[in-house]
Structures are given as C-alpha cells and as structure tokens.
Amino acid sequence: MRPATARILTLDSAAAWRAHVRFNGATLAVTNGCFDLLHAGHVESLHAARNEADVLLVLLNSDASVRSLKGPTRPVHGEAARAMVLAGMRCVDAVVVFDGTDCAAELATLSPDVYVKSAEYRGRQNPAEAAALEHCGTEIVWIERDERYSSSAAIAAAATLGAPGNADLRIGSEPNRSSAFPGTDMTGRDGWGVP
C-alpha cells in the first residue's frame, strides 16, 4: 500500500492518475467536502462513495475555502492535516485540495464516472458543479446523511465542556454501545474475540 502522503495529489498529477485509472478500465468516484473533525458520518459516506466505483478521489476544501463556507473560526484542522487523515483511510485512493467555493474546474478536469454527494444538497447543487458533471456525462449518486453526526455540532458541544449539567456531550453516542455494530462489541469482534 502506498504511504498516505503519496495519495495527496496536485490537480495536474491527479489528472495523470485519472488517465491511468481509465486506461486500466477502472471507474472513478469523486466526492468532496471540508472533512473537518472527521467523524463516523464522514467514514460512512466515504465508504459508500468508494462502493460506487473502483477507486475514490476526495476533493478537499482548502483552509481558505472552508473559512469562506463555514466562517472565520474554521477549519479546526488545517488542510495538510485533513488531507493526511483522508489519505490514510483505506477506502480513499487519492486526495486533491482545492480552493474556491466550488470544485467545478476540478470535476471538469477529472471527469469522474460517478460523483457522490450528500442527499441534503439534492435540489440545491452548485450550478457550476452541475454543469461540469453534465458536460462530463458523470452519474450523480445521492447518499443519505446520518443526522447524528456533525463537525459543527461537535465543535459547539466542545465549546460548552465544563459547563454545569454537561456530563455527556458525546456526539452520536448510543445508549447501548453494542448497537452501533449489532452482534459485536465496538471493535467489530463477535464477542468471542474473533474478527
């Protein structure tokens, strides 16, 4: 397996990588986002995106892009750290950091087979991105977002830590911890220590 840093690409190197993927008959899925404070909802969506094609490239909003979308206190983690975390995930094959509030130019350059986006954006997709995807003939797959998880909610909860009455602020916590992975303990084992 390539080291995580080798999977963080410039747009030019990603275009060459994309040509290699296409030459080998593999399909490319692309998704994008800020991925600040990676949480279980992000992991679920990245795995869902990866299941739509042979390889997955994540277009990651740069720090300046995140600030323009989320405000001056974001991101919590810089783009280099966020890119490294994403590139270190087994389901992610490549990461490209992009500036701007949309990734239309990157989508046009990469011409993915599949674009995976949260269903919360259905009906309000960025027009430039939609045009780029239509021009490329890219299939759009909408995935449902797990409402239990949110970086913004986690940041807000962390800001109130230590306040009276805030004993448990775990985001997405389950009353029965084993219900997250039915029939297993939280490690994915079957209760007998067998994966």
Q: Tell me which of 60 and 124 has the higher pLDDT.
A: 60
Asked if the peptide bond before residue 175 counts as cis, ω within 30 degrees of 0, the response is no
Residue 110: per-residue pLDDT? 98
Q: Name residue, tokens 């190197």.
A: 13
> Per-residue pLDDT tens for 157-182?
666 776 665 554 444 444 443 344 44
Residues 62 and 99 sit within 8 Å (Cβ to Cβ): yes
Average pLDDT over residues 115-140: 92
Average pLDDT over residues 98-125: 93
Residue spans of the domains in the chain: they are 4-171
> Per-residue pLDDT tens for 4-33?
899 999 999 999 999 999 999 999 999 999
Q: Which residues contact 165 (CB under 8 A, 6 or more apart)?
A: none
CATH code for residues 4-171 = 3.40.50.620
pTM of the model: 0.79
